[in-house]
Amino acid sequence: MIRRFATSEDGAAMVEMTIVSTLLFALVLGFVDFGNAFYQWNAATKAVQIGARLASISDPIAPQIATAGVTTLPGAPIPAGNFDFICNGATSVCSCAGSGCVPGTFSAANFNRIFRGDAAGAGTCPTLAAGQRPGMCHFFPRLQPANVVVRYTATGLGYQTRAGGPVPTITVSLQNVTFQFFFLQGLMGFANIAMPSMLSTVTGEDLKSTYP
């Protein structure tokens, strides 16, 4: 009886299938999670591109840009490096460097136009009404204001006393964004990983949201 039990192969297929299924499910769910991570990357990239476009045609987050630059020679070109405003959504502060810089204020309304689109208010991403332009959060719903940094840099474009102010180069980037995993985190304790830094750079246009 003992000898028969020792040589029996009954149930071996079930044990093998259990082992293989565990590895197979982990592999399949891993593909699903990494596919979702790739989707998050694409969505974040699109959000940055939209944010840069909106920033180029919207009132600047640092209103001082309109009068930044040299003032001794009206009509003179704005020298490269004359100002460099960095507006951080995490701190609601616009720092500034450069020979023509003055302390910058952070306009929450102008920031929200870039982050939330044409929908008024602040906070979570709103549902848009008909005809309203989407903001960054509509392309990447996980995005928070604290993740967004908008930079306005003088790169030698435009001139003092120009009606729309100097023409900055605008860079929109993200900070402290992670890839979120569902299956791998829950089943295998796989931690979220930081999303690589991404940015989009454009040249400012009218920097004006409304017209008379």
Residue 200 has pLDDT above 90, yes or no: yes
**What are the tens digits of pLDDT across the range 95-154?**
988 766 776 789 999 999 999 988 876 667 888 888 888 999 999 988 999 999 999 998
Q: How confident is the model at residue 12 (pLDDT cuts 50, 70, 90)?
A: low
pLDDT of residue 21: 72
Domain range summary for the chain, segments of one domain joined by +: 2-203
Q: Count other C-beta atoms under 10 Å from residue 115's C-beta.
A: 24
Sign for the CA dihedral angle at 58, 59, 60, 65 comes to positive
pLDDT of residue 143: 92
The answer to whether 113 and 92 are in contact (CB under 8 A) is no
Provide the residue count of the chain. Answer: 212
Residue, of 201 and 78, whose pLDDT is higher: 201
* C-alpha dist (Å) from residue 143 to 35, 39, 45, 151, 174: 19, 14, 11, 18, 9
- pTM value is 0.81
Helical spans, DSSP H, in the chain: 2-7, 12-56, 108-116, 136-139, 183-188
Could you identify the residue written with the tokens 């209103």?
63
Partnered with residue 149 across adjacent β-strands are 88, 173
pLDDT of residue 212: 45
- Rg of the chain over Cα atoms, rounded to whole angstroms, equals 26
**What are the tens digits of pLDDT across the range 26-78?**
777 778 888 888 898 999 999 999 999 999 988 899 988 877 766 556 677 77
Residue 10 has pLDDT above 80, yes or no: no
Residue 22 has pLDDT above 70, yes or no: yes
At position 61, the amino acid (one-letter code) is I
**What are the tens digits of pLDDT across the range 140-184?**
988 999 999 999 998 888 776 676 677 889 999 999 998 887 776
